[in-house]
Structure 1
């Protein structure tokens, strides 16, 4: 039997900034709808049982559900805790502390939503340490502590979430916000943990250009320090440009990893013409990440064990 592959892109439509998760023994991808800011007023999601066949769930969270959101709804990052699904997202693309917007949080009883605003206001609505409040990424460590990484404009912050997942905690030194910006950081943080090490990843370059890419650091702590190691994802002259802003999937019980990211087809010049793709990511024996070669092949048929 010939092995089947997902192909890239994974599904039709212009989408970007994908977060990848496994919920209820099913693969999920939560992207940004890639369009002009005033049209980015809803989120769709996609799920699969095998990485190859994907089904779209439309409108899991919409502007109408968020009283303070009006445009530029971006970069969602959901996570499950205590049977609830918490969905962090950016809205309004605020340029100053005088504007309403930032990072919000919605909640649902299932991965497909519908999600509802948990606070009626942003969770983070101010610019701290120069970081625009966009591109949230939520990570729960093995000890149960939940961290939210975020930031644009070349600055990255981390906050710790309380047990309720909808309010901010304080670090041991009494601070709420910590800047953790590595060299060349622009936006799109992402964190995974493997063999006791913290792998912090981010996007570099301009999101609308061909040189958008992903780099990483390794640390012994979720708070860093994060010293840049190098690029692991970038354009390929025969495949696509602007490869960046990603999420990660680990096949349960294995050391098989996939990077889920967006890229721009070679035929496209519109900055918003981005599509979601997947490729294999592997680690070297010394724990460093082998740079990814982007493909048209994608991922093999990989059902989750029941």
Structure 2
């Protein structure tokens, strides 16, 4: 029996070590809302721990040299560090600036302006943390333009300006972050939180630029349902205006259901893009049972995003040669 067990473990380790595709999900466990980034020649994914709200009190991270072999970094941030957070820690966003890693997150699922919670910021010296509360309070703790302060993304424009894009309850705002991420700079018209909500928007915004255009992506439908999906728009500025073009990520009932809330990896100095997202396993009715997956993201000759084919195989190994972000 011991010999058989040893043989099984050995075969499993050999299979993992020689894997040529990531498979989907890319790592075990219930994880959603994945934020993907590239730091120091390494891929990183920062997801939401998918469980009941009162159990969502920490974040794990995962790193990989090639998109195939993943290492778990447990509890890089939790409520023992963020004293004002006590539940519903959601949808991380991360950026690197001046030697520090800034980790944006939502907590407490606030329902009004009198409740403590919203979007916070943590900081660390390494991508894997440990992260500490940066402000000692939320960065955004109120409803501006009716947007619930959740589901933040951080976008760095070509001029070096950092923006935060966020919002639930069918509304999305963009704001200009101060250079030290302690607050906001007003836009030229004097406003601080500018609404950029396109038709169909529900939550989960993401932005990237390509060939001088700004691609704004978001999730539609209900997060526990089969209609959860991702749509997008293109504009000439990060503030829009954004007109919905169409869906590019949705379920395939032969592979997985409710595919949505994503981020995008761009391999520096190449035309290679990947979409990292969550979906529900087939036949599993529990809405919290979400898994993190990766597939290719392609564009047509006119720059439009082609519909993503979700797979069980995932992507082939892609080691990095440059440490630049995303």
What band does the TM-score fall into relative to the shorter chain? over 0.9
Secondary structure at the counterpart of residue 216 of structure 2: strand
Correspondence 1:226 to 2:252: no
Secondary structure at the counterpart of residue 184 of structure 2: coil
Question: Which one has the largest radius of gyration?
Answer: 2
Matched residues in 2 for 1:237 and 1:26: separation? 33
Which of 283, 294, 302 is matched with 2:310 structurally? 294
Correspondence 1:135 to 2:184: no
Once the two structures are superposed, the pairs formed by residues 280-291 of structure 1 within 5 Å of their partners are 280-291=296-307
1:3 to partner: Cα distance: 8.2
Matched residues in 1 for 2:184 and 2:130: separation? 24
Matched residues in 1 for 2:130 and 2:187: separation? 32
1:169 to partner: Cα distance: 1.4
Aligned CA-pair RMSD: 1.0
Matched residues in 2 for 1:160 and 1:297: separation? 39
Matched residues in 1 for 2:94 and 2:73: separation? 15
Correspondence 1:110 to 2:120: no
TM superposition score normalised by structure 2: 0.92
Correspondence 1:251 to 2:282: no
Secondary structure at the counterpart of residue 64 of structure 1: coil
Correspondence 1:205 to 2:195: no
1:267 to partner: Cα distance: 2.4
Other-structure match for 1:33: 49
Other-structure match for 1:170: 186
- Report the count of equivalent residues: 305
Secondary structure at the counterpart of residue 65 of structure 1: coil
Task: Return structure 1 stretches of 4+ with deviation > 4 angstroms.
Answer: none
1:252 to partner: Cα distance: 1.7
TM superposition score normalised by structure 1: 0.98
Secondary structure at the counterpart of residue 38 of structure 1: helix
Other-structure match for 1:69: 85
Matched residues in 1 for 2:246 and 2:40: separation? 34
Matched residues in 2 for 1:165 and 1:220: separation? 25
Matched residues in 2 for 1:208 and 1:263: separation? 9
The answer (yes or no) to whether the contact 2:19–2:68 under 8 Å persists in 1 is no
Distance 1:3 1:46, change over 3 A: closer
Structure 2: which 5+ runs fail to align? 1-17
1:88 to partner: Cα distance: 0.5
Deviations 1:72-122 (A, max 9, x none): 000000000111111100000000011000000011111001111111100
Matched residues in 1 for 2:188 and 2:141: separation? 23
1:297 to partner: Cα distance: 1.0
Which of 206, 212, 216 is matched with 2:232 structurally? 216
Matched residues in 1 for 2:299 and 2:154: separation? 23
Which of 242, 252, 255 is matched with 2:258 structurally? 242
Structure 1: which 5+ runs fail to align? none
Matched residues in 2 for 1:34 and 1:122: separation? 22
Matched residues in 2 for 1:300 and 1:203: separation? 26
Secondary structure at the counterpart of residue 202 of structure 1: strand
Other-structure match for 1:15: 31
